[in-house]
Amino acid sequence: MPSKAPTLQALFVQLGLAADELAILRFIRQHRPMPPDVDMLHARFWTPSQAAVLWRLRRRGPHWVEVLDQLEAALRGHRGQQQESA
């Protein structure tokens, strides 16, 4: 049985953060723009345990990497699915 592809919501649950769409948008607004010279996994807003989760998920495979890339693009201010148009 194929497993369900990870989502931003699933990522936020793994990080122990509120995972509804509004909470994700608020998180992105609060932390963007992330400086271009900072690796997302080293951003100051992650707790040590959240950073460890991100590292572990990055090693799990391409599906999680896609989700991490989606979050990183949003945090850097690139237009994406989870960004508001305003």
28-63 confidence digits (pLDDT tens): 999 999 888 999 999 999 999 999 999 999 999 889
* Within-domain flag for 47: yes
* Within-domain flag for 3: no
Range of the domain at 46: 8-75
* Within-domain flag for 85: no
* Within-domain flag for 1: no
Instruction: Report the domain count for the chain.
Output: 1
63-85 confidence digits (pLDDT tens): 999 999 999 999 998 754 444 43
Residue 1 has pLDDT above 80, yes or no: no
* Within-domain flag for 70: yes
* CATH code of residue 41: 1.10.10.1130
* Within-domain flag for 81: no
* Within-domain flag for 2: no
Residue 15 has pLDDT above 70, yes or no: yes
SS3 29: helix
